[in-house]
Amino acid sequence: MHRSELIGQLNNLLHPEFFKDYAPNGLQVQGKTEIRRIVTAVSATQNVIDRAIELQADALLVHHGWFWKNENPTVTGTKYKRLKSILSTDMNLIAYHLPLDAHETLGNNAQMAKLLKATNVCGGQEGSFVWSGTIEPRSVRDLANFLSRALNRQALVLGDESLIVSRLAWCSGAAEDFFESAIAMGAQTYISGEATERTTHMARESGVPFLVCGHHATERLGIQALGIWIKENLALECVFVDDDNPI
Ligand SMILES: [Zn+2]
C-alpha cells in the first residue's frame, strides 16, 4: 500500500483534526513510499526501532512518537541516534497520540472498558478524556489483582483496598490530573497509569481509591487494537513489539 493511502486510511479512522495535541499526529518521519510490513509499539524507543529494523518493517506505528511540545528541538543525543537509525533504513515513523486514547472502539480507554466488561459506558465527551462505567461489585483489591493480571503489570492501590465498588472511571496514561473530576462524576474508584505523591492524599481523603496501573501498560491496549484493525481492514502485515516500561 502506498504510504499516503495508509495515512489517509488512518486519518479517516482516528480523525486527528479533532484534537489539540502535544505532538504531530500522522506521518512524523518520512521513509519509503510502499508499505507492506508495519511494526506497532507504545513508544518509538531505540529498542523498538532496532527490532523494527530486524523485522524489516517499512513503517513504525506508535502511540508515543517524537517532537513533543517543549522538548529540546535539537537533534542531539538519544534523538540523534534514533533519527539516524530510522532515516538510514528509510523507515516511516507514524504516530497517533490523543486520537488513539480517545477512539470510541480502538482507543486505550475504549479497550479498557472492554477489558473491564463495563456496562453503561460513557466516554470521549467533548473536552474530557475520562471514561466511566459500571462493573459487578467487587473489592478494590480484587479489581487491582484482576487488572495486574490482565495488563501484565502490578497495580498499585492508593486508598482503601477493602472497599466494594462498581462505578469506575478511568483514563489511560498520565492522567492523574483528571482524578478530581472523576470523583466529581461519582466514581468509586479511578484507574490510570501514573500518580504522584499528592494523589495518595486525595485517594485517602476522598474515599475514592486510585489504581495506578502503569502508563505503558494501560497504553498497550489501543495500539494493539489498531494493529488488529490494520490487519483485518487493510491486509497489511502488522507486528506488535513490546519494549516494556515499569512506569
Ligand atoms: Zn501516553
Instruction: Return the pLDDT at 126.
Output: 62
| Residues of the chain below pLDDT 50 | none
How far away, in angstroms, is 193 Cα from ligand 1 center? 8
> Where exactly are the structural domains of the chain?
3-102, 108-215
How far away, in angstroms, is 172 Cα from ligand 1 center? 7
How far away, in angstroms, is 205 Cα from ligand 1 center? 27
What is 3-102's CATH superfamily?
NIF3 (NGG1p interacting factor 3)-like (3.40.1390.30)
How far away, in angstroms, is 63 Cα from ligand 1 center? 7
Q: Give the pLDDT confidence of 114-160 residue by residue, as tens digits.
A: 999 999 999 866 667 899 999 999 999 999 999 999 999 999 999 99
Instruction: Return the pLDDT at 129.
Output: 86
How far away, in angstroms, is 215 Cα from ligand 1 center? 6
Instruction: Return the pLDDT at 122.
Output: 92
Q: What is the DSSP letter of 125?
A: -
Range 108-215: architecture per CATH: 3-Layer(aba) Sandwich (3.40)
Work out the burial of residue 106: count CB atoms within 10 Å of its CB; fewer than 13 is exposed, 13-18 middle, 19 or more buried. buried
How far away, in angstroms, is 57 Cα from ligand 1 center? 23
108-215 has the same fold as 3-102:
yes
Task: Name the nearest CA neighbour of 23 among 73, 87, 76, 91.
Answer: 73
Return phi, psi of residue 176, to 5°: -65, -20
How far away, in angstroms, is 14 Cα from ligand 1 center? 16
Q: What is the DSSP letter of 131?
A: E
